[in-house]
Structure 1
Amino acid sequence: MPHRRLATALLFCSLAVWAASGPHPLLRRPAVNRTHIVFSYAGDLWSVPRSGGDAVRLTAGAGVETDPYFSPDGTWIAFTGEYDGNTDIYLMTAGGGIPRRLTYHPAPDIAQGWTRDGRRVLFRSGRASHTRSNHLFTIAREGGFPEQVPLPMAEEGSYSPDGARLAYMPLARAFETWKRYRGGRMSVIWLAKLADSSIERIPQANSNDFNPMWVDHRIYFLSDRNGPVTLFVYDSRSKKVSRVLANDGLDIRSASLGPDAIVYERFGEIWLYELKSGQARQVDIRMAADLAEVRARWVNTAAHIRQAGLSPSGARAVFEARGDIYTAPAEKGEVRNLTNTSGAAERSPAWSPDGQWIAYFSDEAGEYELHVRAQSGLGEVRKFHLGEPSFYEHIEWSPDAKKIAYTDKSLRYWYIDLERKQPVEVDRDLYQPPDGLPAPKWSPDSRWL
């Protein structure tokens, strides 16, 4: 019953994501026309003048709206939306308005751009695939039945000025969270003649090339061939690739072509690259909205309990739920929130053998550390630095409650003496077992691991 009371209790929780008025909101997937930039933020589409300023929200659907693309004349926006529960292509005017649904297939349809005449929207979908690959399709601005682009598989694309060729990626971007991937699934860009599906390859340099954007005889694209992802250009006449933007910092995540500029996203910031001048500048964007996910609110944790453990006496149990650590009585008593933090994730709680302490991992300091506090929730928290940053698991107390063993994501076993406060690496595995690295176990005398 106490467990049920904990599961159904409404716990006050303040989510620590960047507030709408914060200094660095996460702005994504920008597109640009002659006067405005449209981007995705907090699952909605927003618009702001190219000069910057206060952003205006264009959508407020229950699902996610993203991947905006201006029509060539800048009057329409095609985007990916989830208004009706499925992922489909929607259309609205550049200034906002009621979105009109264009696709209705159960498979996800992802917006990719427009044909050069502005009459059809380009999107990718797995609706006609019997493998994991996708195809590109176009659909009329008025709706109707989509037409498949005559390529055996394709992910992202950009039409040549005459519409006769397409710069496209035959393979999906490989492991976006795995930087500098250099395996068999490195993404490449090909130039296809749509009349006969023949291709020309943009020279690759053991790199991931993606996000093609065709301007006259040049194809701009993103690549990690020199390190961090930045903007490159391929000249179809000289057949040479050159770097457009120097980048010694964080990756450029996405880019989109406008009539005279390329807008791109880098670490949540929006930048504008002018094609004529070759200069890039950050667009100063101010966000203000009543974002429900940012507000402090009561949350039912019934579906969010992840780990549990019993006290040595069995009188209470400890739980991890929504980034906080709780204890609850087996029969009578109160539920205690031991951490009650906003903006920090606490996890993997473990009760000490003497029943006095509870240990858990916390990222309160920015990287995960070991925290140990009294099971009553009173007194100061003892905090232990665990060495190099990592993701840790498997807290195991020694029987004498003086040491704690644990593992990390690099397949290493560690222990820390709570008095000496110095982490010690015990061993390292070469391969991860199918069920993950097994938890360490102490000998009864606490001398062996």
Structure 2
Amino acid sequence: VLKIDLDGIQNRIIDIPIKAGNYSQLGVVKEGEILYISRPIDFSSPGKLHKYDFKKRKDSEVMELDGYEISADGKKMLYIKKRIWGISDAGEKPKKGKGMLKVDDLQVKINPVKEWPNIFNEAWRINRDYFYDPGMHGADWPAMQKKYEQFLPDLTCRSDLQRLMQWMFSELSVGHHRMSGRGEMLNKPKRVSGGLLGVDYKIANNRYQFAKIFGGLNWNPKLRSPLTEPGINAKKGDYLLAINGKDITADKNIYSFFENTADKIVELTIGLNPNYTGSRIVKVVPVANESVLRNRDWVEGNLKKVHEATNGQVAYVYVPNTAGAGHEYFKRYFFPQANKKAIIVDERFNGGGLLADYYINILLRPYQAHWNYRYGKDLKSPSASIQGPKVMIIDETAGSGGDMLPFMFRKFKVGTLVGKRTWGGLVGILGFPEFIDGATVTAPNLAIWTKDGFIVENVGVPPDIEVEQWPAEVIKGNDPQLEKAIEIILKELEKNPQKDPVRPSYPKRVRK
């Protein structure tokens, strides 16, 4: 039995004389020795198992590996290196040719139908033990188990089980309640990806014609736009006449010609005339997905609309979520526009992620002062700050962190909310317990509350000014919510004009 003497433990802490680095999987083999894995910061080479001896005060490299596990008795070590498994003495390098496991020959016989009751009961138990409300939102949880388990004998496939568990979860009426993965798939058909050019087509003269070519950032692999790469010179209005020498007419499915072409060189015949007159052959590399190109076009288009409608006075910043991409977008678009007098933050379609207090903190930065240089423009501090009016656009597709962001925007009186009520999902999740077949389930286990009680969940954050995004207007190319945000912020600027500070005269320090 492991016993820890906590009395005076702070005085028994000693340092290990190794330099700072990327370390993981700290382990103990025997008294006076510890194991750990060291990796390069950029993960450019394999990890290395190290052993540190407290008595000798010596660190030694044992072997290269990706991970390890010590046996319960502390005598053996299971390790993996480049998908190769092996067993050695704990903390020791294996002898050459010894201890390798032939996992390629391992087979496991499963009976999915017999696994389903176990999976169902695990889903029920995990929620019983980890759902944030021990009262289960008033639901009689044992009764719910009995209510739905009677369907188990009638299930015919894994999807049926998924639906049955979703029915049971619906009794709790909470968001973020879901399962990921479908477990072992007995039949995994090979997927063949298509190739895309990052364009909108229209039909003219029985041909496919480029109606719009979406721009990208071709130095960024994630934002590569095939038809805008050097040497292609494709233009709006060009006809796509042939793909890899095959003639293309409007009665044929154009996407069928791009099967299995993503990231591969494809020959296109394009030209200004539908009859091949003056046409030319270009070589392009289609992308597998063009959603990022279309999203960037939408964001840049909105930025341009705001810039032109406000005579360059107002910044436009889009945040797609409150996780990695959201931080990336906020930084990319906010800081270059921090010299503007006002700002519109667009969080429509926000997928959530984390608590976005980072954005709010920056939006609330108060003016401090200006700093004068001998050469160049004076600098405002904080340099990345906008003190003028602020508007946030919200909609019903923004949720989770996308609920919390407008909640804080209102709570801290940052500005005006425009659009539609948000999704309403602020009972979040920490952890994804796994079923026997590899699928996972959530048990929403942290919920937001204030002095007003539990908030936002199943309610959302309503706008100050509601604006419907009517499809008829969107099809025309209009954006009623963005247009209303522009209207509001221009009125706010008119009421509260942001004057450019004037630098005072330089002080005279010499008496004459």
Q: Tell me the TM-score normalised to structure 1 length.
A: 0.30
**Structure with the higher strand share, 1 or 2:** 1
Q: Tell me the TM-score normalised to structure 2 length.
A: 0.27
**Structure with the higher helix share, 1 or 2:** 2
Larger RCO, structures 1/2 (Cα 8 Å, 6+ apart): 1
